Structure 1
Amino acid sequence: MTVAIVLLAVGVVLVVALLAAVGAGMLARIDCATWPTALTRAAGTFAAVLALAAAITTALTAFLA
């Protein structure tokens, strides 16, 4: 049961990160950025969301363990 919850949480985090990256890339393109710039902003957003999720997980681990 615990493995299923962990996999579901990982899936949700990845979906949220992808949606944030797509949104950032679209906003960059709407702002007349070039494709490489838009992809760089999208990649940065994706990495930032994953880093934030990792930081939150690390902080919550101290309370759960």
Structure 2
Amino acid sequence: MFTAAPVVVIALMAAAVAGKLARLDGASYPAAMIWAATTFAAATGALASYLT
């Protein structure tokens, strides 16, 4: 549990930044959500591979 929490927190922060940058770039809300979700999935997968 102590290793999973930081992974989720870091992935959520990366997703929030990706969504904000997409909105600043002029993307619509659905497109920004897709960018954020893709970033969250990629960050979670990349960070989880280091923990196992």
TM-score normalised by L of structure 2: 0.91
May I ask how many residue pairs the two structures share in their alignment? 52
- How much identity, in percent, do the aligned residues show? 44
CA RMSD of aligned residues (A): 0.9
What are structure 1's unaligned runs of at least 5 residues? 1-6, 59-65
User: More helix by proportion, 1 or 2?
Assistant: 1
What are structure 2's unaligned runs of at least 5 residues? none
Structure with the greater relative contact order (CA < 8 A, sep ≥ 6): 1 or 2?
A: 2
Report what 2:28 is aligned to: 34
Report what 1:62 is aligned to: none
Question: Quick check: which has more Rg, 1 or 2?
Answer: 1
Runs of 4+ with >2 A deviation: none
